[in-house]
Structure 1
């Protein structure tokens, strides 16, 4: 039997490539497994190493090919440096959570649910009907289809307690995804160079949106129980900020959910300082052991600006979200959204409305709750068994992720690279901190593909953490 290490396989393939013509197809993975007496994972590791060296290129569903060498004249774009000048803000690089994953790896890095957790039949049927309807050829109103506005308002209205005026459909603005909504809200409610209070750690998308708009982020420490309202009050007083961005339900990445008492205290602080709470209800459909309790349902004074997206729960292709705001803030956000994108595709809006108003949507959500629970619990058990040095401060009652703390002396970049070399994609928790990270963390997504591989993935993490 041959030495089955990926290094030996890569060396053998380099000799093969040296004698092959550009564009030649490499032997199949099955053939290489038989030739080298190695596992498919080891063979794929060798192929990834060759791809990183620029020797081969993979074509999904077709095979792996010798990369053709193209002699190209070097381009000189130096003149653009002077033409563009310095950027107004340093935008963070693309988050690792958005990296595409090959089929042969265990992907714990992404923030999106696996396809099997999406209502695929509902989505396909809805798009078919939407393509045949008037929405495919008509320009929708700037604020969104009235029926979809009504649905978003009614969803929040269901949680509104007695004595609080529920939102009206006219309070709703439909947007092309929550990221667009974050940029618009930060631009309108905060403004360039002005302070924005933000939970730390928090959603990397909000950090990027703040950087894009030139907003000065002021981190507010937030743990498994949410932020400290006293620290929030001090930050408002010291900075003069007029907005606080937070995820009160199943926060990304910590999984924290605010208690009723904490919600009341935060609302009091926000009202006392004449400020806004920008509530990102990203995980509305992902409750497991607890129901979502939107803070916006408890406020009719216009202090809470509420964002909710359907992209993660319906389909990544359905970039439909909504902002619910009242008073002049709503009018300014609407004007900004109109200037930014004019309107959201009527076809997308019609398809989204079709999906969420079908009786099967509620059935799907009930099944989703059970699927997420089993995946979460399997990953928790796998970490406890294979990564005993890790610490899970709390098992989240909803959401898609575990926020795992590692020993303080962990070399996170080395760990992430070593895991990837072994076919497990993880991402450093550093990307979720708007300032310096306060510890060594991994955010692990339990809603990705292949949950049966969680024990093996945990074994890889544990093995490399020990070395």
Structure 2
């Protein structure tokens, strides 16, 4: 058993083992390191990243991790002084408040890559088998040939792409209500910094997307968690939280919420908007899964911004989840003076999204096959969901799923009370299955054990079903 959970300590321990290995030697697998040292998958991933930066190892997708060729050792310096210089204090020449923080382990864990011997039920991006690779390649080629492809784009985004986003979001929005940004996480970070000051409270769902928590920490905001029910964030608790804290920002995912999968019906959406408007608060609507409705979903509720003449809602729409993690293009949409504030924050953050990337996105969404591709994706997602639900029900029991969402890409699975989500996820990895512990989604401590199971990062539906069934023996442990 390895006594420390520090990725730095683990990297140091492995350095001695790896240093004298011949170049080209395959390194112990990710899951074996978890089992051997008794640490989390995230700790192992970070330790391997440190070793990669040191030039000791090199990961080859689908093949494993190998010892690199020997390099001349760099002159070692003393970087210990950085610990004090990087300490983020809020009491030296500045008002007291909530310090900003850039520790985002839960968010980083969503980007951890599984080894070739692990079935990935953790990742939130489409496996290449589900990505529209031909359409993306064609769009990239066409975008590169466009006149002015390498000219600097307008700060708010390529006008035609802003027009498309406005029409896609609906609600009578126009070009000047839309700003093109670098996908959903970038939009969240920009919106929270634009709308809040360090130390301000921000209301978030509980549980919620780890990227929301990371963005709030980075902006120095104080999170106020509000629980969910089967229809999304609870309106009565939202009203109480806004009254008690005076918060001016609420962050919600009303459609196929991550991680629970709940969707707010039209009536609940109206309540959320009305309560926020009554308190003079903005609602940041993260509509991340709008293009991931399943073939059997039926009509989905319109976005909150569709019926928002007073400008309460700041809407986030992204193309990334339904296409490729590399098509990092999304939109911020709002009405009123807040658009100017968002534009200023966006300029500070990124200046602008590169024109070739925007034009590639424009080619993708205006191509004749865009809607056909979404329909095909919806059918594939429905098939994977049914496979995952059947496997979860057979392995964990029918009670394990409070919600079976017909959209998005994940299931929120309850564990028996005697189990711990983090320990269960670590044990799952040693059995060749990568999961996300439910604790990653809570701003505060949580007593009900869960895991989130994603069914889009694995190669096939069959792989998803087999991996879930592999977890059965772990349920009796703990």
**TM bucket normalised to smaller:** 0.7 to 0.9
1:23 positional shift: 2.1
Q: Is the aligned partner of 1:118 residue 2:124?
A: no
2:424 alignment partner in structure 1: 415
Q: Helix, strand or coil: the match of 1:86? A: coil
Q: CA offset at residue 74 of structure 1?
A: 5.8
Cα distance change of structure 1 residues 65 and 434 upon mapping to structure 2, 3 Å threshold: closer
Q: 1:415 to 1:267 in 2, by over 3 A?
A: same
Give the match's secondary structure for 1:312. coil
CA 1:339–1:258: 2 relative to 1, 3 Å? same
Give the Å deviation of 1:81.
2.1
Q: Which residue of 1 aligns with 2:386?
A: 377
In structure 1, the residue corresponding to 2:113 is in which secondary structure? coil
Q: After superposition, where does 1:19-418 map in structure 2 within 5 Å?
A: 22-23=22-23, 25=25, 59-60=60-61, 65=66, 75-86=77-88, 88-90=99-101, 91-93=103-105, 94-157=107-170, 160=171, 166-288=172-294, 289-292=297-300, 293-388=302-397, 391-418=400-427
81-90 or 405-414, which moves further after superposition?
81-90
Q: Alignment RMSD, CA only?
A: 2.8
Of the three residues 449, 453, 470, the one matched with 1:460 is 470
Q: Normalised by the size of structure 2, how large is the TM-score?
A: 0.83
Residues 61 and 198 of structure 1: is their aligned pair in 2 closer, same or farther, counting only changes over 3 Å?
A: closer
Correspondence for 2:14: none
8 Å CA contact 1:279, 1:295 repeated in 2 = yes
Aligned length: 429
Structure exhibiting the larger radius of gyration computed from Cα positions: 1
Offset of residue 416 of structure 1: 1.5
Q: Could you list the per-position Cα deviations for residues 281-330 of structure 1 after superposition, in whole angstroms to 9, with x for gaps in the alignment? A: 00011112143321110112111110101111122111111000111100
Report the Cα distance in structure 1 between the residues aligned to 2:333 and 2:422, rounded to whole angstroms.
Answer: 40
TM-score (norm 1): 0.85
CA, structure 1 residues 63+202, in 2 after alignment: closer, same or farther (shift >3 Å)? closer
Distance 1:145 1:126 in 2: 16
SS at match of 2:239: helix
How far apart are the structure 2 equivalents of 1:72 and 1:184? 38
List runs of 5+ in structure 1 lacking aligned partners: 1-16, 28-41, 161-165
Work out whether residues 383 and 390 of structure 1, in 8 Å CA contact, stay in contact via their aligned partners in 2.
Answer: no
Q: Which runs of 5+ in 2 are unaligned?
A: 1-16, 38-43, 90-98
- Tell me by how many angstroms 1:50 deviates: 8.6
Deviates more, 1:434-443 or 1:253-262: 434-443
Supply the distance in 1 between the matched residues of 2:35 and 2:367 (Cα, whole angstroms). Answer: 47
Q: Measured at CA, do residues 122 and 241 of structure 1 come closer, stay the same or move farther in structure 2, by a change above 3 Å? A: same
CA distance in 2, matches of 1:48, 1:435: 26
Contact 2:396 2:415 in 1 (8 A): no
Residues 256 and 289 of structure 2 are in contact (CA less than 8 Å); yes or no, is this contact kept in structure 1?
yes
**Secondary structure at 1:311's aligned position in 2?**
coil
- Secondary structure (helix, strand or coil) at the match of 1:307 reads strand
Task: Give the 3-state SS of the residue equivalent to 2:327 in structure 1.
Answer: coil
Of residues 140-149 and 59-68 in structure 1, the stretch that sits farther from structure 2 once superposed is: 59-68
Structure 1 range deviating more: 308-317 or 405-414: 405-414
Contact in 1 for aligned 2:249/2:283 (Cα 8 Å): yes
Corresponding residue SS for 2:214: helix
The 1:314–1:24 alpha-carbon spacing in structure 2 relative to 1, beyond 3 Å, is closer
Equivalent positions of 1:417-456 (< 5 A) are: 417-450=426-459, 451-456=461-466
Deviations 1:402-458 (A, max 9, x none): 001112221223221221111111110111112222411111001122321223212
Q: Give the deviation of 1:148 after TM superposition.
A: 0.5
- Whether the 8 Å contact between 1:224 and 1:254 is mirrored in structure 2 is no
CA distance in 2, matches of 1:321, 1:426: 27
Conservation of the 8 A alpha-carbon contact between 1:118 and 1:314: yes
Q: Shift in Å at residue 219 of structure 1?
A: 0.3
Deviates more, 1:88-97 or 1:205-214: 88-97
Q: Is the 8 A contact 1:106 1:424 kept in 2?
A: yes
Comparing 456-465 with 241-250, which one deviates more in the overlay? 456-465
